[in-house]
Every structure is written in C-alpha cells, then in structure tokens.
Amino acid sequence: MRITDDRYTRDRLRLDLALRLIRHEARTRTIRSWTGLTDDRIRKLYRSYVADAGRRDVRRRRGKSPRQCAWFMKNAAIRREAAGLATLLCVLGLLRREAGAAPGAVEQLRWGERFCEAYETFLSLNRQPQISFEHACHLLRSLEKQNEICLDDCEGCGSLLVVLRYAERPQVCEFCASTRPPARPGLSVGDC
Ligand SMILES: [Zn+2]
C-alpha cells in the first residue's frame, strides 16, 4: 500500500505542478523537464485546462526560451524586478549549485512548487511585471551558472542587485540611485 500511496502522491504532484506551469505559460520543454510528463500528456493537459477553465487567453509557448542576460539590464523597471525576483529566489533557497533531481522526482516537484510560489509572490508585488515565467527561469539558471550575470549588493542600502559579470557594475540599486545625491569625490562615508 505504501508504494501505491507514494506513487499516487507523486502523480498528483506532477499533474498539479504541470497545470500550475501551464497557467504561467511555461514552455513545454520546461514542463517536461520539471514534471517528467511526456509532450503528449502535456498537450492533453493543456487542451483540457483551456476547455475546462475557459481560459483561451493562456498561450502555449513554443520555440526558444529567453537566452539574453543583457535583457535583465534593459531598463530601470526590469533591473528593479530582476533584483526583487533574485532576492526571493535567494531567500527561498531556490538557487542550486548542483544539477536538480531527475524530472518528475518528488524532490524536483517540490522544488518546482517553491519556484512557482516565488514567482507568484513576485507577480503579487508588481503591478505590470515584465519578467515572464520563462524569463524568471532564465534568471534562475543564469544566476546559478554565474557566467554572464551574478549577484552584488547595493553600497547604499545593502539590497541585492543583479549585475552583468564582465561589465562596469552599478554601485547602488535603482532606489538609492533615485533618492540619494551622488557621493562627492574624496568624501568617504566616515567623514559624514
Ligand atoms: Zn540601495
């Protein structure tokens, strides 16, 4: 019975996570690699979700996932969003040094749930967010690799910043940049 129960729990987790990802318009590839479901199963789930929930506005994304790290630096609003989302990913312990568990493993499914919670919290904090779910996945992967972007901290308030690894880094966050006058040259914080 125990094996049957565990399997039921895992199947339930997989379907719940897949539907949650469909609602966020995640790409089929993402859904497959997190849940271990086949493309055919995902297609059927998507169709039944759209039919049952009457959600014709949910799109099924195909093609390539976002790949450009420079996109996160595009403007002040996106930089602020990227910093906020990166903070949530850090606080919730979602950044991983090691490769994730196998697709569909309970550990991977639970991780996927926590990632969705982080992204949903991010959505609730931003009125018109520009970072899509797939962009959020790309931010996570890029922060884990640290090849092109990495985390830094604001010299003004200590909050997390997402910065390009091999470009000149901003010293302060968007908030501090807009509220503090630029430091006078030759004057250190201790002199104030
Ligand atoms: Zn700051």
How far, in Å, CA of 23 to CA of 87, rounded?
23
What pLDDT shows up at residue 150?
A: 93
How far, in Å, CA of 15 to CA of 105, rounded?
13
What pLDDT shows up at residue 7?
A: 82
Distance 174 CA to ligand 1 centre (A): 7
Distance 180 CA to ligand 1 centre (A): 9
Low-confidence ranges of the chain (pLDDT < 50): 190-192
Report whether 165 contacts 88 (CB < 8 A): no
Distance 45 CA to ligand 1 centre (A): 44
Distance 173 CA to ligand 1 centre (A): 4
Distance 133 CA to ligand 1 centre (A): 26
Q: Tokens standing for 126?
A: 């931003």
pLDDT tens string 57-107: 666 666 666 778 889 999 999 999 999 999 999 999 999 888 778 888 899
What pTM value is reported for the model?
0.83
